[in-house]
Amino acid sequence: MASHGHGPTPAPTIREMVFVVVFLALLFFMFRQPSEDSFLLDYTPPLPPLKLDTRPSKPAHYIPHKTEPITIKEGLVRETTILKHVPGWTILDSLYMHNGTYYVVTSNPPTVPPQTDYDPQESPFLHLPPPKAILSKGYDVYGARGGMGNEPMRVPDEHDLRYVSTAEFQKLFGIDVAANEDPEEWRVHTVPGLTFILNDSPQFITHYYHFCAELWFGVWRTYASLGGGHKLPPPTRVLFPNLDSAHWRDYANMNQLFMRSLLPSTQMLFSHDWYDWVSLSNVHQATSESRDDGGIMKGKPILFPRVLIADRSAAMPAFNYQRFQRTAAVPFGLLIPHGEERGDWWSPVRDAIRAFAGLDDESADGPLENHETQQRTTRPVVTYLSRQDWNRRKLKTEDHERLVSELRQLETELGIEVIVVSAENLSRWEQIRLVGRSTILIGVHGNGLTAELWMNLGFRSTVIEIFYPKGWAHDYEYTARAMGAGGGLKHYGVWNDQVVTAPGFPPPSYPPGFQGNEIPVDGMTVANLVRNRITAADELDDG
């Protein structure tokens, strides 16, 4: 009888061994912990958990930002029109871009004699500004305060901005801008709406004053020259070609508050977005006829129906910049049509920020004295923004204490409200609400005075700025004077016991001690200035 015992176990085949090795390798890679130098650590970070427990039970109520249509024909291929221009601040219709180069397309006659080489100092066509007055390479500015610095490096060339005739544009891209026919639309890629192109470098943008009270101050003053006041539509997008998305916020978080509350529906684009468009403009035309009819340049130009270009370097040679060292001073050469704002061109911006911060304009003006006539009594508010808790530009300790004492005496004497506070001890919203209801704002030259942008404008509205003696900067003086509504805010500079104001202000000066912590001020001089402004209730403001 045959035996039923088990024989020796057969050896595994090569195929079975390969299968086991592969299976073990898969298990190893699935369950091992990645090392510190793992490729996966650098490129596959863990996903954040879903915050299911924080979802609202009801859909949030969303009120879109009110917009008005821009009165331009979107997508219409036509020549470029310069609507408004002063050095550094320009509004254009139908601006083209290809491979990073802007094209101004014009039917204007050429200069006599015609310009044969690219010259940024001169326009090749009559009635057009020189390229240097519109755009630069967007580099940092070096040198002394207000100086021109590395100007030759910043001057644009033919790769930045080109003026071309309509015939030359048709030769380059096969586009006849004079035709104004729909078949031409396929030859361009239209970016609809209004685009603000802010061509500055990051150098000054990451600073509350330079971003809000200089760059945006000038942008809105340029935009307001179109007319329309509060009815001006917000831009569709704001583009920073020389700035990445990590370098527009300031340390105080005011820039981001400003942009997100003022323009909630506006898209913000940065250098990587700009390069996306540059790459897009180089995509080859897809038709078989492109070689014959598409012009000598490969690709499809980007068409911006309307743009506002702001460029610091382009504004710096202008007369008003040289006077005040403020690029925002230049667009005040553009007239604004008189309308509902009665000269208060900044009010659309100021009103939006104040409202978002929760400032009730009616309550800020004081309680009703007569409900039938709706007249209000106004208890003036005097706010002193102290820098004594900061690390530079501080008053002498004894002078600070004397100033506070003098203001407290005025509080009793005049029945006003006096607030002494360090801005860094307030939230961003509290700063706006406080200064927004202030009649008089007092402070040493510094970033906190940027809040003057949110003050009400009235016959007693005043900014008192304390400088180191003989030191002067137009940052807050010019901003106050330029805000509109009957001359803007009245600004006074104080040099210890001396008062300086327009038109007798000095040229900019930064003597030793300007940035120091031993700035003298005579409290009685400031108090007398406050008293004079508060008691001028029955007098016409000379501002």
Q: Say if residue 382's pLDDT is above 90.
A: yes
Chain segment 438-463, per-residue pLDDT in tens? 999 999 999 889 999 999 888 899 99
**With bands split at pLDDT 50, 70 and 90, how would you rate the model's confidence at 374?**
very low
Q: Say if residue 528's pLDDT is above 60.
A: yes
Q: Among 185-189, 303-307, 539-543, which stretch is predicted with the lowest mean pLDDT? A: 539-543
152 HSE (CA, 13 A, CB side) = 0
Mean pLDDT of 356-380: 56
Identify the residue with better confidence: 404 or 18. 404
Beta strand spans in 337-455 (E): 368-370, 375-376, 381-386, 417-422, 440-444
Beta-ladder partners of 381:
417
**With bands split at pLDDT 50, 70 and 90, how would you rate the model's confidence at 397?**
very high
Q: Which of 133, 128, 140 is nearest to 88 (CA)?
A: 133
Element (H, E) at 352: helix 347-357
Chain segment 213-271, per-residue pLDDT in tens? 999 999 999 999 998 888 899 999 999 999 998 888 888 889 999 999 999 999 999 99
77 in Cβ contact with 304 (< 8 Å): no
Pairing state of beta strands 490-495 and 194-198? unpaired
Mean pLDDT of 373-379: 54
pLDDT of residue 130: 96
pLDDT of residue 246: 84
Identify the residue with better confidence: 494 or 78. 494
90 in Cβ contact with 134 (< 8 Å): yes
**With bands split at pLDDT 50, 70 and 90, how would you rate the model's confidence at 373?**
very low
Q: Which of 72, 90, 341, 87 is nearest to 228 (CA)?
A: 341
pLDDT of residue 443: 95
Identify the residue with better confidence: 363 or 378. 378
Task: Show the DSSP H helices in 146-187 as ranges.
Answer: 151-154, 166-173
Identify the residue with better confidence: 180 or 523. 523
pLDDT of residue 35: 37
Beta-ladder partners of 302:
97, 189
Q: Which of 457, 424, 425 is nearest to 441 (CA)?
A: 457
Q: Among 6-10, 34-38, 252-256, 385-389, which stretch is predicted with the lowest mean pLDDT? A: 34-38
Q: Which of 473, 461, 457, 470 is nearest to 508 (CA)?
A: 473
Identify the residue with better confidence: 182 or 455. 455
pLDDT of residue 8: 54
pLDDT of residue 174: 87
135 in Cβ contact with 159 (< 8 Å): no
pLDDT of residue 33: 42
Mean pLDDT of 332-361: 81
The rounded mean pLDDT for the chain is 82
pLDDT of residue 368: 35
pLDDT of residue 23: 67
- Whole-number Å distance between alpha carbons of 376 and 381: 15
Chain segment 276-335, per-residue pLDDT in tens? 999 999 986 655 554 456 788 888 899 999 999 999 999 999 999 988 889 999 999 898
Task: Show the DSSP H helices in 32-83 as ranges.
Answer: 39-43
User: Which residues, in sequence order, are CB contacts of 460 under 8 Å at separation 6+?
Assistant: 380, 439, 440, 533, 534, 536, 537, 541
- Buried (b) or exposed (e) across 229-260, using 16+ Cβ within 10 A? beebbbbbbbbbbbbeeeebbbebebbebbbe
Q: Say if residue 539's pLDDT is above 70.
A: no
pLDDT of residue 201: 92
Mean pLDDT of 127-133: 96
User: Which residues, in sequence order, are CB contacts of 243 under 8 Å at separation 6+?
Assistant: 198, 200, 201, 202, 205, 270, 271
Q: Among 5-19, 144-158, 238-252, which stretch is predicted with the lowest mean pLDDT? A: 5-19
Q: What percent of the chain has pLDDT over 70?
A: 75
